[in-house]
């Protein structure tokens, strides 16, 4: 059995959905679990529809944009006579509208109950389309199988419960060897939706692969494999042929966009190889993450994260930044599910780099301000270079101002304006 993951770019149009279906058809002799993300930039719009993020008066326009986008894809994939998909989609979209109309409660909770509709809509459309073209499949609500705690927006997977659910489900008799399900979303014991962290569909596929002992896992991207840099910023990228598990974990931790940070560890524990292939050239070899000794070829690797905030936290009293203050800061970050991309402390201040998020930054400031003074810079860029040299740093930074820098033997990180 193989696990495939298709991201938003691979299903963002009728042509893309047809191409994805062609790839699935070419593996019709295999048992497949196909994990799919929300279509295109749907999650970005849904984030604006989380209760309390924007005035309710602005919801209708956003909802209409989402509806029109998905309906246009449906219109081009199905003939008018195929009414089942329209009925099913309208019913699901009505539930989204009900969720958006809710009064704000807790941001992280409301977020998960809202953004999950992206994956539910995309997989409903794709499952119907695959059945329509003769690829019989079973649509599965992954929220019933991947179980997490109540840590909304970045649920911690209960692997014991999840493995029990998935193994039991996989052992059940079924009419088809093709499964379509969602990435990114999960469920907790209270019956509510949780999510696995932004871009968490890779992690979903990895969890499934681990729990049902998959033969392999493949992530289908719009790039030819694991590149040493994002082609949006670099024109002379190099494709990495093979990546050791631990190297991939390091790169994902620093923010490599090819894979979610939590993806590799579960499949490493079962020695399952992860292939990264292009849905534009599906017959090309791509890259593979596995039990290798070294990365091949060995070349500098660049990771760019935009829209960063550099926050400096300073005690209001006469204390230093020591264990007790750090404990307070980290507890608050954990409560708000704010991930730190880089950190550094001195005697009198603690600096941390986080993703820009106006609502979460406001909550963080509110909780820390009684005890600390806070200073911050918005709209920054975090650059990570693995296997760097000083010449490379000078070339990348140019005339930009470096606000904070860290170096280890193999890796340097720089926050620049």
Q: pLDDT value at position 263?
A: 93
Which of 125-129, 142-146, 347-351, 407-411 comes out lowest in average pLDDT?
347-351
What is the distance between the alpha carbons of residues 256 and 258, in angstroms, rounded to a whole number? 6
Stretch 229-250: mean pLDDT, rounded?
Answer: 91
- Model confidence at 216, in pLDDT bands (50, 70, 90)? very high
- pLDDT at residue 80, rounded to an integer: 75
What confidence score (pLDDT) does residue 196 get?
96
pLDDT digits over 55-79, tens only? 999 999 999 999 999 999 999 999 8
- Beta-carbon neighbour count of residue 257 at 10 Å? 16
Q: What is the mean pLDDT of residues 224-239?
A: 90
Q: Average pLDDT over the chain, rounded to whole?
A: 94
SS3 94: helix
Q: What is the pLDDT of residues 132-155, one digit of tens each?
A: 999 999 999 999 999 999 999 999
* pLDDT of amino acid 47: 97
Averaged pLDDT, 300-312: 94
Token pair of 290, please? Answer: 């596995």
Q: Residue 292: what pLDDT?
A: 96
DSSP 297-341: S---EEEEEEEEEEEEEEESSS--S-HHHHHHHHHHHHHTTPPEE
pLDDT band at residue 39, thresholds of 50, 70 and 90?
A: very high
The two structure tokens encoding residue 200? 């968490």
Per-residue pLDDT at 258: 79
pLDDT band at 119 (very low <50, low <70, confident <90, very high): very high
Q: What is the pLDDT at residue 93?
A: 98
DSSP 375-413: EEEEEEEEEEEES--HHHHHHHHTTPPEEEEEE-SSEEE
pLDDT of res. 287: 97
Q: Is 198 exposed, middle or buried (0-12, 13-18, 19+ CB in 10 A)?
A: middle
Task: Quote the CA–CA distance of 120 and 183 in Å, as a whole number.
Answer: 9
Read off the pLDDT of each residue in 96-109 and give the average, rounded to a whole number: 95
Mean pLDDT of 327-331: 93
| Partners of 375 in the β-ladder | 312
- 44 Cβ contact partners less than 8 Å away, ≥ 6 residues apart: none
Q: What does the pLDDT average to over 379-402?
A: 94
Q: Does the pLDDT of residue 85 top 90, yes or no?
A: yes
Are 344 and 413 within 8 A, CB to CB?
no
Q: What is the mean pLDDT of residues 315-333?
A: 85
pLDDT band at 394 (very low <50, low <70, confident <90, very high): very high
Q: What local confidence, expressed as pLDDT, does residue 316 receive?
A: 84
Res. 260 pLDDT band, cuts 50 70 90: confident
Write down the pLDDT at residue 232.
Answer: 86
Length of the chain: 417
Helices 358-368 and 323-335: angle between axes, nearest 10 degrees = 140
Rounded distance, CA 333 to CA 15, Å? 42
pLDDT at residue 307, as a whole number: 95
CA distance 268 to 183: 19
| Helices first, then strands: H and E counts in the chain | 12, 19
**What whole-number distance in Å separates Cα of residue 22 and Cα of residue 92?**
27
């Amino acid at each position: 059995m193989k696990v495939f993951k298709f991201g938003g770019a691979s299903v963002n149009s009728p042509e893309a959905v047809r191409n994805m279906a062609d790839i699935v058809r070419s593996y019709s002799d295999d048992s497949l679990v196909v994990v799919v993300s929300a279509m295109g930039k749907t999650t970005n719009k849904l984030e604006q529809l989380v209760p309390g993020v924007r005035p309710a008066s602005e919801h209708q326009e956003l909802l209409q944009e989402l509806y029109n986008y998905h309906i246009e894809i449906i219109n081009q994939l199905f003939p008018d006579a195929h009414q089942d998909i329209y009925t099913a989609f309208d019913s699901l979209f009505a539930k989204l509208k009900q969720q958006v109309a809710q009064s704000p409660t807790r941001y992280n909770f409301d977020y998960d109950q809202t953004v999950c509709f992206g994956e539910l809509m995309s997989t409903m459309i794709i499952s119907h389309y695959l059945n329509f073209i003769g690829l019989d499949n079973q649509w599965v609500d992954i929220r019933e199988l991947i179980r997490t705690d109540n840590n909304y927006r970045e649920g911690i997977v209960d692997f014991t419960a999840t493995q029990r659910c998935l193994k039991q489900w996989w052992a059940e008799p079924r009419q088809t060897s093709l499964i379509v399900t969602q990435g990114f979303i999960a469920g907790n014991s209270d019956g509510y939706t949780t999510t696995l962290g932004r871009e968490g569909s890779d992690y979903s596929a990895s969890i499934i692969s681990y729990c049902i002992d998959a033969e392999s896992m493949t992530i289908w991207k719009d790039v030819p494999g694991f590149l040493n840099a994002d082609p949006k910023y670099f024109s002379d990228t190099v494709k990495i042929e093979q990546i050791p598990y631990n190297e991939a974990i390091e790169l994902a931790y620093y923010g490599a966009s090819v894979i979610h940070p939590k993806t590799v560890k579960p499949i490493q524990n079962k020695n399952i190889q992860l292939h990264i292939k292009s849905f534009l050239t599906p017959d090309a070899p791509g890259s593979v993450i596995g039990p290798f000794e070294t990365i091949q070829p060995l070349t500098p690797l660049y990771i760019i994260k935009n829209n960063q905030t550099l926050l400096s936290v300073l005690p209001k009293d006469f204390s230093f930044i020591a264990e007790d203050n750090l404990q307070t800061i980290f507890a608050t970050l954990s409560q708000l599910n704010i991930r730190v991309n880089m950190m550094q402390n001195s005697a009198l201040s603690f600096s941390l780099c986080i993703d820009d998020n106006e609502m979460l930054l406001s909550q963080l400031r509110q909780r820390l301000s009684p005890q600390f003074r806070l200073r911050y810079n918005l709209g920054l860029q975090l650059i990570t270079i693995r296997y760097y040299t000083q010449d490379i740093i000078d070339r990348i930074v140019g005339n930009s101002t470096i606000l904070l820098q860290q170096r280890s033997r193999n890796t340097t990180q720089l926050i620049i304006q």
